[in-house]
A and B are shown apart, each in its own frame.
Chain A
Amino acid sequence: MIPRPDSSSHDERIISVNGVKFSYDGCVPALAGVTLNLKRGEYVAIVGGNGSGKTTLAKMLNGLLKPASGTVTVRGKSTLDQSVAELARYVGYAFQNPDHQLFCSTVDDEVRFGPHNLGYKGDDLSKKVGRALETMRLTQLKDKPPLSLTLGQRRRISIASVIAMDSEVLIFDEPTTGLDTQETDDLMSSIEGLNREGRTIVLITHDMRLVAKHAKRVVVMSRGRIVLDTDPRGAFSDLDLLRASSMLPPPVVILAQRLKKYGLSGEALSPEELLYLVFRGKGGIR
């Protein structure tokens, strides 16, 4: 994918990935030349099959991995010159498995850990923690031991502990794995809220319905490359490419595409859109 040159919005660019290559073992490339620019306030979904390089790319964004060649800059500064802890101030990363980070004896302590590490103190710290707990609906549970709670609650704690650091960019790695529909909806609406506050969201996921519903930009990865970088509508229209990257659009998108043969005009990303297209000009839905 060639990045669109866009000098007018250069100042809005918060993370730039430029021609990044990376390999874990020195043989098989995990990233084979990736270029990607993230602007402030974007909601980007990174999708792709297993082993396509999604997580590797995400770990580049907060400095957990450093490029073997090419550059990654966060707010204009190369990640090579900054530690992960320094970058955490600007880029938060919520890991897939909450059990890989919870270690405190209360939820409150757990959420406090990150902002405390960043040097926040006193009222400022308490305010950040309080707001994160509220966003993830954890205020009731704040004195409970995290490890005794359910997976959905533990995931919320791990996310709260990241958003409490108040970083501008938030990366969510498969945040809905193992959650039921209600928990997924609640979590996704919390993430929407964070995006509305102006935070940049990077969502790594397999779930195309989440992409259709929430993302405003979709980056499709396959074998360490970005093969498509567009809006969800554009991403889902290229069925062959998605299949080649071992993915499928949500059923409703496929249904709308099939209905085109029968005269449906346009594409649908949600059941509502499909209904609108079907009943448009027929006096609405009865």
Chain B
Amino acid sequence: MTGFTDLYTEGDTFLHRMDPRVKIAAVVLLSFLAFVLTELRYLIILLAFIFLLLLMARARLTKTVFALKFVLRLMLLIAILWPFFDRSGTPVIVSMGPINITEPAIWRGATSAVRVGCLAAVWYILMFTTSQRDLVLALVRMGLRFDYGLTVAITLRFFPTFVSIIDSITDAQKARGLEFERGNIVKRSRNYVAVLVPAIVTALRTSDALSLALQSRAYGARTDRTYVRELHMRATDYAALAIFVALLVVPLAARHVFSVSV
């Protein structure tokens, strides 16, 4: 778990070099595209395209496998469960008591599974290739207030720390004879109080110390902030942005102007 809290992998692929704002735009545009497309085959092409980009990001294999597993499990779950709840259409394949499975429902389930797969996988393009620092910088440059940007940065930065604190607290309570898996649900949830209370207290103490550290380094002394790193859109960034926009516009035009089913 701890190893995957930061998905970013250092690298020098075109995706790493791409302006983070373009990557954020790409995630948004491709997500819209996943909703625009209704034909299963086009959604599969979109999913394949997203995975192609992921491959080109050259993330470490363990991370890619982790990401893939998550997306595939999610897709499988949707594909399997969908026909049980969507009972409309003919022909009916199975009809046993409350279970009524139809062929169109199976197709709709598959379509939704691939769509959700696209929506989940598209984030990895951004997360694999953009450092947290760049991500926050991009958000601030796109109009987010710096305070909020910093909050996002701190949250991301402290997430792994917090995970390891929780591990350590769990170990400490186990060493005091606490068995998390024992007892009924009430007893079990009470066991977690022994982890949650120290975790919250430690988090509060940490944030208190952090705010002092920020103030003692003159945080907020200037309202007109300057930045060590600046973002610059280059020609390739504009080209990439144009391609991502086109990817969304072309199917929309195909449907509404040329009445092609996509």
Interface residues of A, Cβ cutoff 8 Å to B: 25, 59, 62, 64, 83-85, 88-89, 92-93, 95, 97, 99-103, 113-115, 117-118, 147, 161-162, 165
Known: A95-B168, A100-B202. A88 touches B175 (CB 8 A): yes
- Which of B165, B175, B197, B201 sits near A84, CB closer than 8 Å? B175
Interface residues of B, Cβ cutoff 8 Å to A: 3, 165, 168-169, 171-179, 193-194, 196-198, 201-202, 205
Q: List 11 A-B contacts (CB under 8 A).
A: A84-B171, A84-B174, A85-B177, A88-B177, A99-B201, A99-B205, A101-B176, A102-B197, A102-B198, A103-B201, A117-B176
CB of B177 within 8 A of CB of A97, answer: no
CB of B175 within 8 A of CB of A100, answer: no
CA distance A62 to B175 in the complex (A): 7
Give every chain A residue within 8 A of B202 (Cβ-Cβ).
Answer: 99-100
CB of A89 within 8 A of CB of B177, answer: yes
- Which of B165, B179, B193 sits near A117, CB closer than 8 Å? B179
Give every chain A residue within 8 A of B172 (Cβ-Cβ).
Answer: 93, 95, 100-101
Known: A25-B3, A99-B205. A93 touches B168 (CB 8 A): no
The smallest C-beta distance from A10 to any residue of chain B, in angstroms, reads 27
The smallest C-beta distance from A23 to any residue of chain B, in angstroms, reads 13
CB of B193 within 8 A of CB of A114, answer: no
CB of B175 within 8 A of CB of A99, answer: no
The smallest C-beta distance from A94 to any residue of chain B, in angstroms, reads 8
Nearest to B199 among chain A residues (CB) is A100
CA distance A92 to B168 in the complex (A): 15
Give every chain B residue within 8 A of A83 (Cβ-Cβ).
Answer: 174, 179
CB of A100 within 8 A of CB of B198, answer: yes
- Which of A84, A103, A165 sits near B194, CB closer than 8 Å? A103
CB of B168 within 8 A of CB of A97, answer: yes
CB of B175 within 8 A of CB of A64, answer: yes
Give every chain A residue within 8 A of B165 (Cβ-Cβ).
Answer: 100
Give every chain B residue within 8 A of A162 (Cβ-Cβ).
Answer: 175-176
CA distance A88 to B175 in the complex (A): 6
CA distance A118 to B175 in the complex (A): 11
CB of B201 within 8 A of CB of A147, answer: yes
CA distance A64 to B172 in the complex (A): 9
CA distance A99 to B197 in the complex (A): 10
